[in-house]
Structure 1
Amino acid sequence: MKILMASDHAGFKLKKAVEKHLIEKGYEVVDLGCDSPERANYASYGLKLGKEMSEGAAPFGVLVCGSGIGISIAANRFKGVRAARVFDVEDAKLTRQHNDANVISLGERMIDEALAIEMVDAFLAEPFEGGRHQERVETLDKCCK
């Protein structure tokens, strides 16, 4: 399965650690940048991943910035993108189950590498429940052009 990844400078180190883990697990990872820990604009990389996701480039994405907030806001500008910033494994599972999130957003300043990897693994393994949640997801998708 293909996974898109992007970060700004504040999320670069954690992005690379998660990327390495995903490749070792057999995922095809496409790193959309940034390419170094030098200063980079979170909005540019969140928008880049959001655009790619909205065009069907991959079923899932991983974003990382300092907090996980700004970069997820940028990605969520695109139809069909449901980026969720998570703090723990339960968040990662619930956002898949109830929100059909397709992008997980992490804050390098907020969590450590081991927890990030555990959350990404849980996120990718968890199915969307559908049912009563499907209508809610469809409502969100209707608002975007």
Structure 2
Amino acid sequence: MKIGIGSDHNAFQMKEEVKSYITSLGHEVIDYGCYSEDEADYPGVAFSVATDITAGNLERGILLCGTGIGMSIAANKVPNIRSAQCHDVYSAERAQLSNNAQIITMGAKIIGAELAKKVAEAYLNVSFQGGNSARKIDQIMDKEREFLLQGSCC
């Protein structure tokens, strides 16, 4: 699978460890930055990964920042993206199985690198199966399209 990975400076070290681990599992990993511990804002990284997923250049993404919250919010601003913050194996599996999330996010100030590797692996080891969950995702995506056609939601 082709996976996009990215972080801000708070999660640079964790990104490097997760990237290496995912590569060792046989996945192709594209690094979207940041590339050092120098201060770096996360929104551009999230937008780039999410946009490349919607363009078909990536199959999934893993984004890391201090908490995982900002990356998830930013990625979810890109139409047709479903990003889920995950800090445990069960949530990572459910992000894919129940929500067909193309991206998961994690926080380097919340969990350690070893757990992050397990969370990433759990997410990458499952595939969306549809079923009752497909109906719910369709409802979410229909509402997103409705808001986009209106030009605003509020």
Normalized against structure 1, the TM-score is what?
0.95
Residues 7-48 of structure 1, C-alpha deviation per residue, up to 9 Å, x if partnerless?
Answer: 111111111100001111211100011111100011121111
1:129 is displaced (CA, Å) by 3.0
Give the structure 1 partner of residue 8 of structure 2.
8
> Whole-Å Cα distance in 1 between the matches of residues 40 and 68 of structure 2?
14
Residue identity matched to 2:45: Y
Equivalent position SS for 1:3: strand
2:153 is the counterpart of 1:130: no
2:46 is the counterpart of 1:53: no
Structure having the higher Rg: 2
2:104 is the counterpart of 1:104: yes
User: Percent identity, aligned pairs only?
Assistant: 33
Give the structure 2 partner of residue 115 of structure 1.
115
1:120 is displaced (CA, Å) by 0.5
Asked if the contact 1:50–1:74 (Cα under 8 Å) also holds between the matched residues in 2, the reply is no
Give the structure 2 partner of residue 29 of structure 1.
29
1:137 is displaced (CA, Å) by 1.2
Equivalent position SS for 1:52: helix
> Whole-Å Cα distance in 1 between the matches of residues 131 and 117 of structure 2?
29
Give the structure 1 partner of residue 90 of structure 2.
90
RMSD: 1.1
> Whole-Å Cα distance in 2 between the matches of residues 21 and 102 of structure 1?
19
> Whole-Å Cα distance in 2 between the matches of residues 74 and 18 of structure 1?
21
Equivalent position SS for 2:98: helix
Provide the aligned length of Structure 1 versus Structure 2: 145
Asked if the contact 1:60–1:103 (Cα under 8 Å) also holds between the matched residues in 2, the reply is yes
Q: Which runs of 5+ in 1 are unaligned?
A: none
Equivalent position SS for 1:99: coil
